[in-house]
Structure 1
Amino acid sequence: MHLARTISLCIALVIPLGALLLPDTASAGEIPTFAVDASWPKPLPNNWIIGQVGGITVDRQGHIWVLHRPRSLTDDEKGATLNPPRSKCCVPAPPVLEFDVDGNLLRAWGGPGEGYQWVGREHGIEVDERGFVWIGGNAENDNAILKFTLDGKFVSQIGTIAPSKGSNDTTQLGKPAQTAIDKEANEIYVADGYGNHRVIVFDASSGAYKRHWGAYGHVPSDDKQAAYDPKAPVDQQFGNPVHCVKIADDGLVYVCDRINDRIQVFRKDGTFVKEFFYEKNTLGNGSVWDLALWPDPSQTYLISADGENNEIRIIKRDDGSVVGSFGRSGRNAGQFHWVHAMAVDKLGNIYTGEVDNAKRIQKFKLTSDALH
C-alpha cells in the first residue's frame, strides 16, 4: 500500500516535465534530469516586463544574461507607457538583463546610444571571459555584432547596420543569430545567420576576418533553396537560419542548421566531421534551435532546444544519440511555446527563453547526479 503510494507520487512529480527515456545500459544518476523552478526569476523592478527572448547565456561567474525585445511588446502589455496610460502595467525592461542563479536582477541596460546604432530586432548574446558582451540582431539591416562592456558601454562592432553583401563577403554579416568565443585563440565565431548561410570567424579584439564556411565545409551559396522536404536528398548548404554555434573544449564546433533538422560538427578550420538529424520530419521552423554543452569535464552531453516541437533533448555528444528529453507545447511552468534560446550553468541548471507570444524565461534545476 505505502509502496504503491510512493510510486504514484513519483510519477506525478516527473510526468509533467516529460519523462526521461533512459537506455538500458545507463543508470538514472548518469543522465541529466530536471525540475522546473517556477519561482525563477524574481519579479522585475520598476513595473518592468520582458518581450520575446532573443538570446540567453551564462557568464564565468554563473550569472545569466538575457537579451529580449522590448519592441515585441503589445500595447496591452506596455499599457503604462501609453499616453494616456491604458493600464497600470507595464513598462518595457531594458533589452539586456543580468540575473544571478537565485533570480535576482543585477544589471539592466541597452538600446540606442551615442556612437553606435542599436539593432532593429535583438538576437543572440554572448559574454566572454574578458568582460565583454556581444549582441546581434536579425532585422533587415542587422548585419553587425556589437561589443559592449559589462555595464553597457559601447566598445566596437563587426559589420554595420546596413544592407548585407552576401555569404562570401568578409566585411559585413547577414542577420547574425549567435556568437561563440574561442578564448584560447581570441576568436569569435558567428552563426551567420538569418540572411547568410555560413559560420564566419573574426579576431575578437581587432575584428579582423579569419575564415568562413558553409554546410559540409563547402563555400556557402546564396542561391535560392527549395523548401525543406524530409524525403529529398539532404541540403548541401545551410538553410536559414544558421541559428547557433558552440565550441567544445576538445575543439569541435557545433552548428544548428535549424530548418534542416540537423546539427553539423566541424573542426575549428571548417573541416566537416559529422552530422546528426533530429525529428527529421519536422517542418515549420525546424527542430534544432539552440545547443549548450554539458558542464562535466568531458562535456558528455549536448542539450538541445527544439522550438517547433517545444522540447529539450539530452544528447550524447560522441554519437548524437538522444538519452532523454523534457517539455511539450503549453503555457504551464515547464512547458514551452517556441523555446528559442537556452544556456546551462556550471551547476547543471538549464535556462530557457521563448519568442512569439510566449515572452518568457524559465529555469530548470538539475535533479540527478549527472555532474558527479
Structure 2
Amino acid sequence: MERCQILLRGGSFSYELRLDWAKWPEKMGNRAVSGIALHPDGMLYVSTRSERYPICVFDKDGNCVRTFGAELDFSRTHGLTVDLDGNIWVCDDQNSVIYHLDKEGKLLGTMGEKGVFSDSGYDPTVRWPHDLYTNVRAAEPFNRPTRMLQAPWGDLYCTDGYGNTAVHRFTAEGKLLRTWGGPGREPGRFRLPHSIAADERGRLWICDRENFMVQIYDKEGNFVRRIERAGYPSDLWEFDHHMYLCNGDGAVDIYDLECQKTASVAFPECFDDIHSIGGDEEGNLYLGKINGENSLFQLKKV
C-alpha cells in the first residue's frame, strides 16, 4: 500500500509528518515518552514510562537498537538530557532522584536521595493540579525534579519541579551554587518549572507550564524576560538560532532569540498532549507523547 505523505508548514519551516518512524521493542506495553535527546553519536535517547524499557535508544531510521535502566526501578522517568561528555541525565520525579548514566546505561552517580523530598510545603495527598498550590517556598534540592541540563558553559541546572517551585544551579561536579524561585506568577517565581534549555546567548529558557509561560534568565539566575500566553509549554529544543517549544495545545511554536514567535507548526490530531521535543543536526524534530498512539514520531525537515 502506498504511503500517504503529510506535509506541515509554518512560516518558512516545512516538515513531513512520519507517525510510524519509531520501531519499538516487541511486546512493549507502556510507550509513554517523557524525554528526548540526541547523542553526539547520532543516536536518539528516549525515556519512557515502561518498567522494562525505561530508556530506549533509536538509530536514524527509527529502529530501537538497545534499551537499559530497568534495574534502576524507576517510578516515573522525566526529562532525559545528554551532557557535554555524552553521558545521560534522567530524573525520576516521583522518587525525587536524578540518575547520571553513560551512554550504555552504566550508573555514574546520582543526585538526591531516592524517596527523600525537600520541605517546600508540598502536599502530595492533594489531587492534581491543586497539589501545586500547596507549595509555600522554594526549597533545596529536590522535590520531584523534572529535568537536569548541562549548559554549554558547563554548569548544571535543574527544574524542580512538581513538588517544588525552584531552579537549582550546580557546578559541573555537582556543588550547589544557587536556588531561586518560589510559588507565584511574578518574575522570578514559578508554578511548575517543567523543563529547561540554554540558548547560544548564554540564557536559560524555562517552561513554567502551569503558569502558561516561558521565563528567561541569565546564567546566574537573574530574570531577563518572559513569554506569556505560551500555551501549555512542556519542553524546549534549541537549534540554528531558534527555540522550538511544544506548547501542549497541538502545535510546535518556533521562536527567534529575540523571543518573537516566527512560526507555528500545528496538527492537533497528532500533536495533542505532546510532552517532549528533541531534534537532530539536520533540523528534523522528534516529538514524544504521554498518552495515545504514535507516542514518538518524526517531523522530517523538507
The question of a shared fold, defined as TM-score above 0.5 by the shorter chain, is answered with: yes
Deviates more, 1:98-107 or 1:257-266: 98-107
The aligned counterpart of 2:132 is none
- The one-letter code matched in structure 2 to 1:199 is V
Q: Is the counterpart of residue 304 in structure 1 residue 271 in structure 2?
A: no
Q: Is the counterpart of residue 199 in structure 1 residue 199 in structure 2?
A: no
Query: Residue 110 of structure 1: which of 64, 69, 75 is its match?
Result: 69
Instruction: Mark the runs of 5 or more structure 2 residues left unpaired by the alignment.
Output: 121-136
Query: Residue 258 of structure 2: which of 318, 321, 326 is its match?
Result: 318
Q: Is the counterpart of residue 163 in structure 1 residue 143 in structure 2?
A: no
Return the alpha-carbon distance in structure 2 between the equivalents of residues 276 and 176 of structure 1: 23
Return the alpha-carbon distance in structure 2 between the equivalents of residues 237 and 271 of structure 1: 8
Return the alpha-carbon distance in structure 1 between the equivalents of residues 187 and 255 of structure 2: 24
The aligned counterpart of 1:58 is 38
Conserved? CA contact 1:50–1:359, under 8 Å? no
Conserved? CA contact 1:50–1:360, under 8 Å? no
Query: Residue 130 of structure 1: which of 85, 97, 116 is its match?
Result: 85
The aligned counterpart of 2:236 is 291
Q: Is the counterpart of residue 182 in structure 1 residue 136 in structure 2?
A: no
Distance apart, 1:190 and its partner CA = 0.7
Distance apart, 1:272 and its partner CA = 1.0
Which structure dedicates a bigger proportion of its chain to strand?
2
Distance 1:50 1:64, change over 3 A: farther
Distance 1:168 1:262, change over 3 A: closer
Cα offsets for 1:226-278 (capped at 9, x unmatched) = xxxxxxxx545644421111111220110001111111111100111111123
Alignment partner of 2:255: what SS? strand
Cα offsets for 1:89-110 (capped at 9, x unmatched) = xxxx511011122112222111
Distance apart, 1:359 and its partner CA = 6.4
Please show how residues 1-372 of structure 1 align to structure 2 within 5 Å. 14=7, 17=8, 19-20=9-10, 22=11, 31-41=12-22, 43-70=23-50, 93-113=52-72, 118-139=73-94, 142-161=95-114, 162-166=116-120, 168-170=138-140, 172-185=141-154, 187-205=155-173, 207-214=174-181, 220-221=182-183, 234-236=185-187, 238-278=189-229, 287-294=232-239, 296=240, 299=241, 301-307=242-248, 309-328=249-268, 330=269, 335-358=270-293, 360-367=295-302
Distance apart, 1:169 and its partner CA = 4.0
TM-score calculated relative to the size of structure 2: 0.85
Alignment partner of 1:211: what SS? strand
Conserved? CA contact 1:66–1:98, under 8 Å? yes
Distance 1:318 1:120, change over 3 A: same
Alignment partner of 2:144: what SS? coil
Return the alpha-carbon distance in structure 1 between the equivalents of residues 199 and 213 of structure 2: 17
Return the alpha-carbon distance in structure 2 between the equivalents of residues 358 and 256 of structure 1: 25
Distance apart, 1:311 and its partner CA = 1.2
Return the alpha-carbon distance in structure 1 between the equivalents of residues 167 and 13 of structure 2: 30
Identity of aligned residues (%): 24
Conserved? CA contact 1:96–1:108, under 8 Å? yes
Alignment partner of 1:160: what SS? coil
Conserved? CA contact 1:239–1:260, under 8 Å? yes
Distance 1:13 1:362, change over 3 A: closer
Return the alpha-carbon distance in structure 2 between the equivalents of residues 112 and 68 of structure 1: 14
Distance apart, 1:159 and its partner CA = 0.9
Return the alpha-carbon distance in structure 1 between the equivalents of residues 176 and 6 of structure 2: 50
Deviates more, 1:126-135 or 1:249-258: 126-135
Distance apart, 1:365 and its partner CA = 0.5
Distance apart, 1:188 and its partner CA = 1.3
Return the alpha-carbon distance in structure 2 between the equivalents of residues 350 and 364 of structure 1: 5
The aligned counterpart of 2:133 is none
Conserved? CA contact 2:212–2:232, under 8 Å? yes
Conserved? CA contact 1:312–1:327, under 8 Å? no
Distance 1:165 1:320, change over 3 A: same
Cα offsets for 1:328-356 (capped at 9, x unmatched) = 1x2xxxx1231000012111000010013
Conserved? CA contact 2:96–2:143, under 8 Å? yes
Alignment partner of 2:210: what SS? helix
Conserved? CA contact 2:251–2:264, under 8 Å? no
Larger radius of gyration: 1
Distance apart, 1:62 and its partner CA = 2.7
Alignment partner of 1:274: what SS? strand
Distance apart, 1:168 and its partner CA = 4.3
Conserved? CA contact 2:96–2:145, under 8 Å? yes
- The one-letter code matched in structure 1 to 2:195 is C
